[in-house]
Amino acid sequence: MSALLEVRDLSIAIAGAERPLVDHVSFDVAAGETLCIVGESGCGKSLTALALMGLLSDPPLRRIGGTARFRDRDLFTMPPRELRGLRGGEMAMIFQEPMTSLNPALTVGDQIAEAVRTHRACSPAEARDRALEMLRRVRIPAPEKRLEEHPHALSGGMRQRAMIAMALANDPALLIADEPTTALDVTVQAQVLDLMVSLQRESGAGMILITHDLGVVAGLADRVAVMYAGRVVETGPVAAIFDDPQHPYTLGLIRSIPALSGERRRLVTVPGTVPTPATMPEGCRFAPRCPFAGTDCRAAPPLAEIAPGHRVACHRAPIEEKAA
């Protein structure tokens, strides 16, 4: 299966800094597939997404290397005009903050219609019909009424639904969702995620879902890429990541999920904190926090395939089953 999107060695740096914030990140997304990018705040997940959309604020952020082939075109070398044609058309993004991502001066209907009219030649009436249809598809109650309303009149969950409607209005082949539910109430989160996934399944689009919520990953992902301090440390099918995690960081993440059943225990945490860009160690960036680190960890481990589709960047991989 040829990939819809192939990202190779993407590196992003901030002006004046020596070390990149995102360092040689590579991954693939196939049509109809959901790739979850997991990692803690500041690990470069969002920067990766913004770079793919061509939305890095340059300066101070700059892409310093790598390629991204989307349907056999390189996103990073195509002319700005062509990239603008892709954005919101074949490639769409859903942002983290529904409360501030809608223009307060336009009605919800006008904004969705704007997304439609930017990419197709159609009459205002047709764009409006499409907007109404999209509001129905994202299951906003009373869509005819909401079409005429300004964003301030909508709740957070409804605004995120409107954002999803806008992103999907042109049937994108690739959807990038950057923590789409982080800002929402827990009760609304599940609804919005279910909605996104069911719409994605309907359309057969590929999706990159950026999150730090492992529960979401387990429920929705086909494949997972775990990022730590700007690098992909482990990637593979969701079952392999959860059943047979190989990177010590992945292991730590999974062990830190509180269990609802069984013996009550102290929550397991990963010791230490993420190094700042200035204190980033040479070699394996996780080494200072890693219980298995040795002298060989001073050299950066390659992202090596240890099972079909399952790659790990660790000198210790594959690790034997640890005795509990």
- Contact flag: residue 105 with other proteins (CB under 8 A): yes
Residues 6+ apart with CB under 8 A from 186: none
Say how far apart CA 40 and CA 20 lie, in whole Å: 17
> Which CB, 177 or 287, lies closer to other proteins?
177
Say how far apart CA 177 and CA 270 lie, in whole Å: 27
Minimum gap (Å) between residue 318 Cβ and other proteins: 37
| Cα–Cα distances in angstroms (integers) from residue 259 to residues 1, 262, 265, in the given order | 37, 7, 9
Minimum gap (Å) between residue 174 Cβ and other proteins: 12
Say how far apart CA 117 and CA 113 lie, in whole Å: 6
- Contact flag: residue 119 with other proteins (CB under 8 A): yes
Among 39, 143, 157, 180, the residue binding other proteins under the rule CB under 8 A is 157
Minimum gap (Å) between residue 254 Cβ and other proteins: 27
Please report where in the chains the tokens 């969705």 appear, as a residue.
Answer: 112
Q: Which of residues 81-100 bind other proteins (CB under 8 A)?
A: 84-89, 92-93, 95, 97, 100
Minimum gap (Å) between residue 252 Cβ and other proteins: 32
Among 8, 24, 62, 150, the residue binding other proteins under the rule CB under 8 A is 150
Please identify, among the stretches 13-21, 158-166, 248-256, 295-303, the one whose residues bind other proteins according to the rule CB under 8 A: 158-166
Among 17, 55, 259, 268, the residue binding other proteins under the rule CB under 8 A is 55
Helix (H, G, I), strand (E, B) or coil at 303: coil
> Which CB, 45 or 247, lies closer to other proteins?
45
- The sign of the dihedral angle between the CA atoms of 217, 273, 93, 153 is positive
- How many Cα atoms sit within 13 Å of 134 on the Cβ side? 30
**Among 46, 37, 43, 41, residue whose Cα is nearest residue 20:** 43
State the DSSP H helix or E strand holding residue 177, giving kind and residue range, or none if neither: strand 174-178
Q: Residues in contact with other proteins, total (CB under 8 A)?
A: 41
| Cα–Cα distances in angstroms (integers) from residue 157 to residues 99, 153, 181, 273, in the given order | 9, 12, 9, 33
> Which CB, 41 or 187, lies closer to other proteins?
187
> Which CB, 29 or 303, lies closer to other proteins?
29
Q: Which of residues 180-239 bind other proteins (CB under 8 A)?
A: 185, 187-188, 191, 194, 198
Residues 6+ apart with CB under 8 A from 324: none
Minimum gap (Å) between residue 61 Cβ and other proteins: 13
Q: Which residues bind other proteins (CB under 8 A)?
A: 53, 55, 84-89, 92-93, 95, 97, 100-106, 114-115, 118-119, 139, 141, 150, 152-155, 157-158, 163, 166-167, 185, 187-188, 191, 194, 198
